[in-house]
Homo-oligomer: A and B are copies of this chain.
C-alpha cells in the first residue's frame, strides 16, 4: 500500500476492503490497516490509559480493562514511557549536585533548550538559529498579541478598529483561501502585521501558509503564525516559505520518526475516520428522524491536519457525555463542536473503528434521552 501516491484515502480504503473481500466498514479492514502500518511499533512507546481509569467512565456500560480510545492528543498527548526515565535523571542530578546541574550532566539545565533545538528546527522546517525555545505557549501568544496591540497604540490607533479579523462567509464554517488572499490584496497596503493560526483550533482547518505568506510579503507586511495545532501534525517548511515569525507548543513534539511518515499515516487514519462517519451519519433529508453528524473541518486533505471537528443533530453535551462514559477521550468546545483527533504516533485504525462503534451507542442513547425529554415535556 503506497501512501505517497496521490490516491485519495477513500479510494485506498475501498480497494483494500475489496482485496480483503469485506465491506470498508468491517472490523477486518481496521485490523489489516494496523498490520500494514509501518509506525505501529510507536504505540508501545506511550502509556495508553485503561477505560476504568478515566474519571467519566461508567463501568456498567463498558469493559474497564480495555485501553481507552484516546482522541485528545491535539490537546494533551499521551505520556511517552521515557519521560519518567528522563525526569528521574534530572531529579537525581539535582539531589546529588544541587546548583551544579545548571552546567553539568547530559542535559545541563542552563542550556536545556539547546538539546532539542535541532530537532525542533527540523520539525518546523527552520534553520537552527531561527528557533528559540522559551516559555509556555500562552506566554508567547500574549507577548505576540501585546506587541501587536502596543504597536497600534504607539501609532495612535484604536486597537478594536485597527485589528482586522476575518470571518467565514455567511452559512459557512471555515475560511476560503481565496477570501483570505482577497483581503490581503485589498487591504495589504495599510496592514503592518498578518497573524494567522496554522491549524485553527476549533474547526481543524489548515491554512495555506505559503500562499498567505507570499501574498502578505507582496504587500510589505510581516507574516506570522500561531502553530499550536500545526507543529507535529502537518509538514512545515517555515524557512522556505519565508514565514517571518511563529510560535507553538514544545510539549506536543516527539522524535523517533519523520514528519513525512507521520503525516502519511495521519492522512489515512483521519481519512478512515471521515469515511466511516460519512458512511453512517450523513444527513438523509428523506429520513429527518435519523441523527446525523456534520464534519466542520474541510474535506480537502491539504486543508486539515489530524483533527476532525464534528457537530451533531442531537444535543452535543449529551453525545459528549455518552462517549466519555464509554471510555472515549475527546474534547468538546462551545457552542457546538466535538474535536476528535486520531494522532498517528499512537492511535490505531482499530481505535477509529472502536470509536465509530461507541459513537453508535452514544448517539442511540442521546436520541433516547432527547425523545424521553420531549415526551415528558408533552405531558
Interface residues of A (CB under 8 A from B): 47, 49-50, 53-56, 68, 70, 72, 75-79, 83-84, 87-88, 91, 94-102, 104, 134-136, 139, 143, 146, 150, 153-154, 329, 331
Assembly of this chain: how many copies?
2
Q: With the chains together, A84 CA to B54 CA distance in Å?
A: 24
Shortest Cβ gap from A320 to chain B (Å): 13
Inside 8 A of A101's CB, which chain B residues have their CB?
Answer: 76
Q: With the chains together, A318 CA to B76 CA distance in Å?
A: 49
Shortest Cβ gap from A155 to chain B (Å): 11
Inside 8 A of A78's CB, which chain B residues have their CB?
Answer: 95, 98
Q: With the chains together, A205 CA to B56 CA distance in Å?
A: 54
Inside 8 A of A331's CB, which chain B residues have their CB?
Answer: 99
Inside 8 A of A153's CB, which chain B residues have their CB?
Answer: 154
Shortest Cβ gap from A40 to chain B (Å): 20
Q: With the chains together, A87 CA to B136 CA distance in Å?
A: 19
Q: With the chains together, A295 CA to B145 CA distance in Å?
A: 46
Q: With the chains together, A191 CA to B54 CA distance in Å?
A: 56
Shortest Cβ gap from A50 to chain B (Å): 7
* A135: contacting residue among B56, B72, B139, CB under 8 A: B139
Shortest Cβ gap from A164 to chain B (Å): 23
Whether A96 and B135, one on each chain, are in contact in the complex, defined by CB atoms closer than 8 angstroms, is no
Q: With the chains together, A76 CA to B100 CA distance in Å?
A: 9
Can you pick out 27 interface pairs between chain A and chain B where the beta carbons lie within 8 Å of each other? A49-B97, A49-B98, A54-B97, A54-B98, A55-B97, A55-B100, A68-B98, A70-B98, A72-B99, A75-B99, A76-B94, A76-B101, A77-B98, A78-B95, A79-B91, A79-B95, A79-B98, A84-B91, A87-B87, A87-B91, A99-B329, A99-B331, A134-B139, A135-B135, A135-B136, A139-B139, A150-B150
Whether A55 contacts B104 in the complex (CB less than 8 A), given A72-B99, A139-B135, A150-B150, comes out as: yes
Whether A47 contacts B95 in the complex (CB less than 8 A), given A54-B100, A104-B55, A154-B153, comes out as: yes
Inside 8 A of A77's CB, which chain B residues have their CB?
Answer: 98
Whether B84 and A98, one on each chain, are in contact in the complex, defined by CB atoms closer than 8 angstroms, is no
Inside 8 A of A94's CB, which chain B residues have their CB?
Answer: 47, 76, 79
Q: With the chains together, A99 CA to B87 CA distance in Å?
A: 20
Inside 8 A of A96's CB, which chain B residues have their CB?
Answer: 47, 49-50, 53
Inside 8 A of A329's CB, which chain B residues have their CB?
Answer: 98-100
Q: With the chains together, A97 CA to B68 CA distance in Å?
A: 9
Inside 8 A of A135's CB, which chain B residues have their CB?
Answer: 135-136, 139
Q: With the chains together, A236 CA to B76 CA distance in Å?
A: 38
Inside 8 A of A154's CB, which chain B residues have their CB?
Answer: 150, 153-154
Q: With the chains together, A68 CA to B95 CA distance in Å?
A: 12
Write the chain B residue with the least CB distance to A150.
Answer: B150
Inside 8 A of A87's CB, which chain B residues have their CB?
Answer: 87, 91
Q: With the chains together, A102 CA to B329 CA distance in Å?
A: 13
- Which among A55, A101, A102 has the greatest number of chain B C-beta atoms within 10 A? A55
Q: Give 9 nearest A-B pairs by CB, closest first.
A: A47-B95, A76-B99, A53-B96, A72-B99, A79-B95, A79-B94, A55-B104, A75-B99, A150-B150
Q: With the chains together, A87 CA to B92 CA distance in Å?
A: 13
Inside 8 A of A75's CB, which chain B residues have their CB?
Answer: 99
